[in-house]
Structure 1
Amino acid sequence: MKTAPAAAPAAAAPAGVEPPPAAAPRWWIWLAAWPVAAVFVLSNAATPLYTLWQHDIGFSRGTLTIVFASYIAGLIGSLLVAGVASDRVGRKPVLLPALALAAVACLVFATAFSVAALVVARLLSGIAVGAVVSAGMAAVTDVAGAARRRTAALVASSAMVLGAGLGPLLAGVLSENLPAPTATVFLVEIALLAAAFAVVLRMPVPRMVARPVARAAAAPARGAWIRLPRMPHGTGGRLLLGAAAFAPGITGTSFVLSLGPSLLSGLLGTTSRTLAGAMAFVMFLASTGVQFAVRRLRVRTILLAATASTAVSMIGLVGAVRSSSVALLVAAAVMAGAGQGMGQLGGLSLLNSAVPAGRLAEANAALNVSGYLPAGLLPVSAGYLSDAVGLTTGATTFGVVLAALAAAGGLVVLTGRRWAPEA
């Protein structure tokens, strides 16, 4: 592994601002991403287990998407405060409670015997993920230092999607090969979270990113602690471009996570939890791999590729449910993963290149709110539509709508040069 070049002497910090720390060793960038990966393992670990809970508890596909969407509700609620709090009080005071809350969610999952318990567990998971996606991904950038911000975007984004893919694969394999399938998975996840807790305790980030100063661009924004995340002046266009690609991508993967097991059951007549977990893993493996493949391209090219990949994935989804083709369904999932990965990388890269450290967590929160709102609403609508008119029609309608949204996002990116001309 090449050693990082010596950091240039830091410029004197304005009065009242804690100077940025010296760049940490390169290996710390990867280690700092572990809390992000560990919490995202939890975010999707329940996916292969839903068929078990449906059998044991008894609930419809519409109710299943409500359970899934309670995670989105918790995540968005968390994003309303976590980004601001992280920029004002520091990364660790937000990350440590989030990891503890994730462990509580694991315990609720492990002992769940009702829909209400599943909703509570998903809600707690969403709150923890919202805090980590704001503070954790900003912490990776802090550790990387100003000269390695694009590397930080790649590592943080990859950690997120790799964790999201490992969760269902781990859950599927463990639940089919070990006793107490709905408990063992989450006991293993608690151990992963404990390791992440230890990493955060040692993470070389400042106690506070910045203190209030006259240079408002570098300091955390003033105002309410609980609010819709705001962007620094002059960077809103970057958020719009990132959201245009990221929102359709993450909505596509959310659909596969929430109704993928039901689609597999309908197409294959199987409730194999390992197969459901493997499909989700392959989807997020594609999301991780494509980010490394395109990392040297211009950001605008990455965003356009993201919208195209999402649109193609939805065309494949429609073809899969119409032809009962499992191979086409898996291909659609892979393309959806690629769309999310590129949209996420492009969005984070745009923010990292222009947003000061003291506002970065809130900017990350804004990007994720823009993505997770449709990722919660559209799959829930598709779930209830599937209960009413059948899974084939419901999935087809969802695919057509999301393909159109992805195409619209591509047009926004094509015509948005004035918002980020150097992208």
Structure 2
Amino acid sequence: MSAVDTAPETGSVPAVEASSGAARRRLPSWALPSWALIWGAVFVSSWGGNQFSPLLLMYEDGQHYSPVLVNAFLGVYVLGLAPALLVAGSLSDRHGRKPVMLAGLVSAVVGSGLLAFGGLGPEFLLIGRLFSGATVGVAMAVGNSWIKELSQAPFDPAADRSSGARRASLAFTLGSGSGALVAGLIAQWGPVPEVLPFVIHIAVTIPFFVIVLRAPETSRNGGLTGPWWRQLRIPAASHRRFVRVVVVSCPWIFVGAAVAYGYLPTQLRGATGSWGLVFATAATVLALGVSSAFQPFARRIHSSTSARGLGLMVLLIAAGLAMVVVAIRTQSIGLGLAANVVVGLGMGLGLVSGLQEVQSIAGSRDLAGLTGVFYAVAYAGFLVPAVIAAVAGFAPVEAILLVLVGLALVSAVLVRVSSRKHLPAAG
């Protein structure tokens, strides 16, 4: 999974609790800058969210879980992530960034702890994935915003306007890639592969409870009045351009990811043999790496009048899915990796273009909430492999994937037509 260089913000302009001098006194002169403390917390949260992806093949072969159940492990993550995305920002505006981020770290430890007991039964994996999803939702909604706030005056006067977004994006991408890499390599060659990756994640997460406590708060506690759930209303979510352009296109971002590096490795086991976990790890890291590398260029492609970035993204995902079909048919490892490159390009373009659309549609009051809705709808794409596995008992996998390719092409046409009819002015 890859973050974009425009991270979600949680609420109106932050009210920092200290002057520049006070902020500097919080840490000794030799210590890391304030933003780096939260950068690490987002890194380990992202690590925990994506460490499971390359292990699907291990659970299907080693634990003899059904393909439907294995892919449900991947998709249930969304059921933890989406509520956290929609609620965590509101709670951090009211109670401060620190307590909500600490709750996210607790969720990370609980999630990995449950996953480490996955050998005892699938319920541990399902509930553990729910907690892992909630962790990533908090990191995206609160941690990324906190990094941005600490990457400006008075905490970092030397930073430029885009420093916070770039730092948040790097934390998320490197964390996601590192989690997949460590877990995949241990699963292939390490001892107790069902346990050790998660124990390592717990070990690297625990120090950040102390580190986050030392970070400066950027949201004044109790600054908002009235029931917190009133902040969840997002008028811009009903804007016609958001509904007919963004919502139509953004689920394809993670449909591509889920199929290319989540589902494909389970279909190439005949070609990969004993190297299946290495392939799954390489596919995940490759897609995320390409997505991250392409993001700085992606912002130049999108146009607010034509939404060409989102339209091109859907076409790239369609092409990647078509390559997946051929890779499965021919049992081609090389084509499978190439499909992940194409999907990675689509992910990077879709995330950047989608947030550009969100920023042009939302007013200042709705920006945080609409960003959360965008991510929640986009991550719904991770549910698709479970659907494919369930339907595969009635139709060939290649045929199901070709139907997805056709639906993607239809979505690309709808995006093009709707983007011309509905301009991005705030509604």
The residue type paired with residue 196 of structure 2 is T
| Cα pair distance change 1:347/1:30, threshold 3 Å | farther
Answer yes or no: is 1:63 the counterpart of 2:69: yes
Runs of 4+ in 1 over 6 A off after TM superposition: 20-27, 353-358
| Cα pair distance change 1:310/1:128, threshold 3 Å | same
Structure 1 match to 2:133: 126
- State the aligned residue count: 397
Structure 2 match to 1:396: 402
Q: Is the 8 A contact 2:88 2:138 kept in 1?
A: yes
Structure 2 match to 1:217: none
Answer yes or no: is 1:52 the counterpart of 2:64: no
Answer yes or no: is 1:160 the counterpart of 2:160: no
Aligned with 1:254 (options 252, 255, 258) = 258
Q: Is the 8 A contact 1:306 1:342 kept in 2?
A: yes
Aligned with 1:169 (options 156, 174, 181) = 181
Q: What is the alpha-carbon distance in structure 2 between the residues aligned to residue 406 and residue 266 of structure 1?
A: 34
Q: Is the 8 A contact 1:45 1:168 kept in 2?
A: yes
Answer yes or no: is 1:287 the counterpart of 2:304: no
Structure 2 match to 1:189: 201
Q: Which moved more, 1:404-413 or 1:323-332?
A: 404-413
Structure 1 match to 2:40: 34
Structure 2 match to 1:81: 87
| Cα pair distance change 1:389/1:245, threshold 3 Å | closer
> Where do 5+ consecutive residues of structure 2 fail to align?
1-11, 25-31, 154-158
Structure 1 match to 2:388: 382
Structure 1 match to 2:7: none
Structure 2 match to 1:225: 229
The residue type paired with residue 249 of structure 1 is I
Q: Is the 8 A contact 1:321 1:395 kept in 2?
A: no
Answer yes or no: is 1:18 the counterpart of 2:15: yes
The residue type paired with residue 382 of structure 1 is I
Answer yes or no: is 1:344 the counterpart of 2:342: no
Structure 1 match to 2:97: 91
CA apart distance, 1:85: 1.1
> Where do 5+ consecutive residues of structure 1 fail to align?
1-12, 214-221
Q: What is the alpha-carbon distance in structure 1 between the residues aligned to residue 353 and residue 233 of structure 2?
A: 19
Secondary structure at 2:195 match in 1: helix
TM-score, normalised to structure 2's length?
Answer: 0.79
Q: Is the 8 A contact 1:382 1:398 kept in 2?
A: no
Task: State the superposition RMSD in angstroms.
Answer: 3.6
Q: Is the 8 A contact 2:50 2:179 kept in 1?
A: yes
Q: Is the 8 A contact 1:18 1:210 kept in 2?
A: no
CA apart distance, 1:411: 4.4
| Cα pair distance change 1:236/1:150, threshold 3 Å | farther
Q: What is the alpha-carbon distance in structure 1 between the residues aligned to residue 424 and residue 365 of structure 2?
A: 25
| Cα pair distance change 1:414/1:208, threshold 3 Å | farther
TM-score, normalised to structure 1's length?
Answer: 0.80
CA apart distance, 1:137: 2.0
| Cα pair distance change 1:347/1:166, threshold 3 Å | same
| Cα pair distance change 1:320/1:100, threshold 3 Å | same
CA apart distance, 1:250: 1.6
Same amino acid, percent of matched pairs: 25
CA apart distance, 1:121: 0.9
The residue type paired with residue 122 of structure 2 is V
CA apart distance, 1:134: 1.2
Structure 2 match to 1:328: 335
CA apart distance, 1:98: 0.8
Q: What is the alpha-carbon distance in structure 1 between the residues aligned to residue 288 and residue 276 of structure 2?
A: 19
Q: Is the 8 A contact 2:50 2:176 kept in 1?
A: yes
| Cα pair distance change 1:266/1:295, threshold 3 Å | same
Aligned with 2:281 (options 277, 282, 286) = 277
Structure 1 match to 2:223: 211
CA apart distance, 1:297: 5.3
The residue type paired with residue 141 of structure 1 is K
Could you give the per-residue CA deviations for residues 269-299 of structure 1, whole angstroms, max 9, x where no partner exists?
Answer: 4552122111110010001100123345556
CA apart distance, 1:305: 4.0
CA apart distance, 1:54: 2.3
Answer yes or no: is 1:312 the counterpart of 2:319: yes
Answer yes or no: is 1:419 the counterpart of 2:425: yes
Could you give the per-residue CA deviations for residues 292-345 of structure 1, whole angstroms, max 9, x where no partner exists?
Answer: 233455564544443332232223223323333322221221221221222222
Pairwise mapping of residues 352-391 of structure 1 onto structure 2 (< 5 A)? 361-376=368-383, 378-391=384-397
The residue type paired with residue 173 of structure 1 is L
The residue type paired with residue 328 of structure 2 is V
| Cα pair distance change 1:272/1:22, threshold 3 Å | farther
The residue type paired with residue 79 of structure 2 is A
The residue type paired with residue 255 of structure 1 is V
Secondary structure at 1:58 match in 2: coil
Q: Is the 8 A contact 1:41 1:189 kept in 2?
A: yes
